[in-house]
Structure 1
Amino acid sequence: MDAFIQQLLNGLLSGSLYALVALGYTMVYGILRIINFAHGDVLMIGALVGLSVIRVLQAAFPDMPPVLLLLAAAMIAMAFCAVLAVVIERVAYRRLRNAPRLAPLISGIGVSLLLQTVAMLVWTRNPQMFPQLLPLAPIEVLAGDATHAAVTNATALTTIGVALSLMVGLLLLVERTRFGRAMRAVAENPQVASLMGINPNRIIVMTFAIGGALAALAGIMMASNYGSAHFYMGFLPGIKAFTAAVLGGIGNLKGAMLGGLLLGLIEALGTGYLGAATNGVFGSNYQDVFAFIVLIAVLVFRPQGVLGERLATRA
């Protein structure tokens, strides 16, 4: 049981991060029907900007509490990446809204490579050590005795708590507020929404900004948990978050949340139990394989996702 709880904690940690990034994919797809493949690199920029903010604040205010350092870095990085996501929408996607579907895809891949190159030039190719600002002391969860206990730490618990809180907050924003109703109206039919006094461009810009801010926070939390940040760190989480969005039903907010958590749990339980059953042959080195197996299975057997609906194609 303690091993099972340990894998659940590991899965919730990675799954909550996937879910935060998947929300950006699914919101943009829900409104524009395009996949923003530069979204994973917004996560990377957020982590590196947060790291730079922490270094500047530590040099200027040596006695600043670590929690305030992390909070300030997160707020500034989220604001920066919200603006960055808006710029990406304006430059890479706005003129391609009515273009063939392949055009925005290629544009997004180009922006992704551009962001990676800029990050390489600014922060170098070498991984940057991210300071551990939250306590790393082990916390035993449902411990039976000292030798059989699931172990976590304050950084992981904070990450899970913050991620789940933001997911609930975003869901309430979309379902209970005027802005959320406007988002749903633009996603349903932007032309009709504009006739009702809604500015579709404003809603699209705000959607990109929210997605960029969530990706930046996910990047900082990921760097805090793993202790490093680098120019290529957004690629795999971005692909896995896209897989999570497809798993849950892309375009569906609840689906993105569920898909992210499910994917994290599948990875953790798969590597934990399959690795033990094969004496480590399929251990953590093969963790990424599970995400792509899930993606292939979903596309083959249920392409609309767990919570998605199969829609008829209009003639």
Structure 2
Amino acid sequence: MLEQQLVNALSLGSVYALFALGFTLIFGVLGVVNLSHGAVFMVGAYGALQVINHFGFPLWAGLLFAFLLCGLLGLAIDFLVLKPLRARGAPHLIPMIATIGVGIAINSAMQGIFGAENLRFPAGTVSEESLTLGGLHLTALELGIVLLSFVLMGALMLSLKRTQLGRAMRAIAESPKAAYLLGINVEGLFYLTSFAAAGLGGLAGVLIGLYSNALFPLMGQPMLHKGIAVIILGGLGDVRGAMLGGLFLGFAEVLSIAYIGSDMRDAVAFGFLFLVLLLRPKGLFGSLQERKV
């Protein structure tokens, strides 16, 4: 049924968009393609699972813990890895390579601690109740994913557009040096951006873990590939593009599974991506202008 497939696609696309928001926020403000973001995503899922399993926390507390844990992890990556490279004026390729190493180290550490086998959230973590509207069947998980994702995306968009903090972050995205001369605390906002972006990635990890009912140390790798595709499709550094690109990828995947086959899911989704970029190489909302130093 097409309507049901569209609901499924909206749920999956919302998680992709949430993951890509953190990804594109780091690139837009710090000018770094953070390839450890997939590992941070995985840590969020494992963190929530541990506090729910061992301390009996409800899901909302697990989500909050995942956000804070991953935010602190993102802050540590910025302070220990990205800040020294910024201080040395390293070219853009160097931080990207460094974050690859960070991501591999995190994945290996988590595999050593928890093993390589699949883990699952305990039964009853999410309500089994569902809502039926006409021919549509909406589970509590699907509704929660869509609502949480859109609330967070809307809050981020409003804060960037309407608040003094958002204007300062947009100024840094345009030119960190000019922002510093205007009295903006550039380093402080770099830290805040790293915290918020990693926190969003952690929340996406929990939601995907619930949606797929499987957690494993390398679960962030395919999501990282999709996140890169999404931010390129939407336009590097553009929040609106990350949102729409994530939804686009989710719809392409679900509809290809429903009408073509699961084996062709990635081929169809990334094939559509390739066609879009042939028509619009800079992405949906991207700009060909270079960031000023």
SS of 2:137 mapped into structure 1: strand
Q: What's the offset of the Cα at 1:311? A: 2.3
Distance 1:296 1:93, change over 3 A: farther
CA contact (8 A) 1:246 1:298 kept: no
Matched residues in 2 for 1:110 and 1:291: separation?
28
Alignment partner, residue 118 of structure 1: 109
Bigger Rg over Cα: 1
SS of 1:270 mapped into structure 2: helix
SS of 2:132 mapped into structure 1: strand
Measured against aligned partners, the alpha-carbon deviations of 1:104-127 in whole angstroms (never above 9, x if no partner) come to 221111111111001101211111
Matched ranges for 1:81-230 at <5 A: 81-97=70-86, 98-132=89-123, 133-143=125-135, 150-230=136-216
Alignment coverage as a number of residue pairs: 289
Q: In structure 2, what residue type is equivalent to 1:36?
A: N
Q: Which moved more, 1:221-230 or 1:157-166?
A: 221-230
1:286 lines up with 2:238 in the alignment: no
Matched residues in 2 for 1:95 and 1:299: separation?
35
Alignment partner, residue 7 of structure 1: 5
Q: What's the offset of the Cα at 1:289? A: 2.4
Matched residues in 2 for 1:5 and 1:164: separation?
20
Percent identity over the alignment?
35
- CA-atom RMSD, angstroms? 1.8
Matched residues in 2 for 1:262 and 1:299: separation?
13
Aligned pair partner of 2:255 in 258, 269, 272: 269
Q: What's the offset of the Cα at 1:239? A: 1.3
CA contact (8 A) 1:174 1:183 kept: yes
Alignment partner, residue 19 of structure 1: 17
Aligned pair partner of 2:58 in 69, 78, 87: 69
Give 5+ residue unaligned stretches, structure 2.
Answer: none
Matched residues in 2 for 1:52 and 1:165: separation?
25
Q: In structure 2, what residue type is equivalent to 1:293?
A: G
Q: What's the offset of the Cα at 1:95? A: 2.5
Matched residues in 1 for 2:278 and 2:92: separation?
21
Query: TM-score, length-normalised on structure 1?
Result: 0.87
Give 5+ residue unaligned stretches, structure 1.
Answer: 59-67, 144-149, 276-282
Alignment partner, residue 26 of structure 2: 28
Q: Which moved more, 1:94-103 or 1:21-30?
A: 94-103
Q: What's the offset of the Cα at 1:156? A: 1.1
Q: What's the offset of the Cα at 1:295? A: 4.1
CA contact (8 A) 1:42 1:216 kept: yes
Over 6 Å off, 4+ runs: none
Matched residues in 2 for 1:307 and 1:231: separation?
33
Q: What's the offset of the Cα at 1:76? A: 1.2
1:46 lines up with 2:44 in the alignment: yes
SS of 2:183 mapped into structure 1: coil
Matched residues in 2 for 1:289 and 1:307: separation?
24
CA contact (8 A) 2:131 2:138 kept: yes
Query: TM-score, length-normalised on structure 2?
Result: 0.93
SS of 1:139 mapped into structure 2: strand
Distance 1:291 1:95, change over 3 A: farther
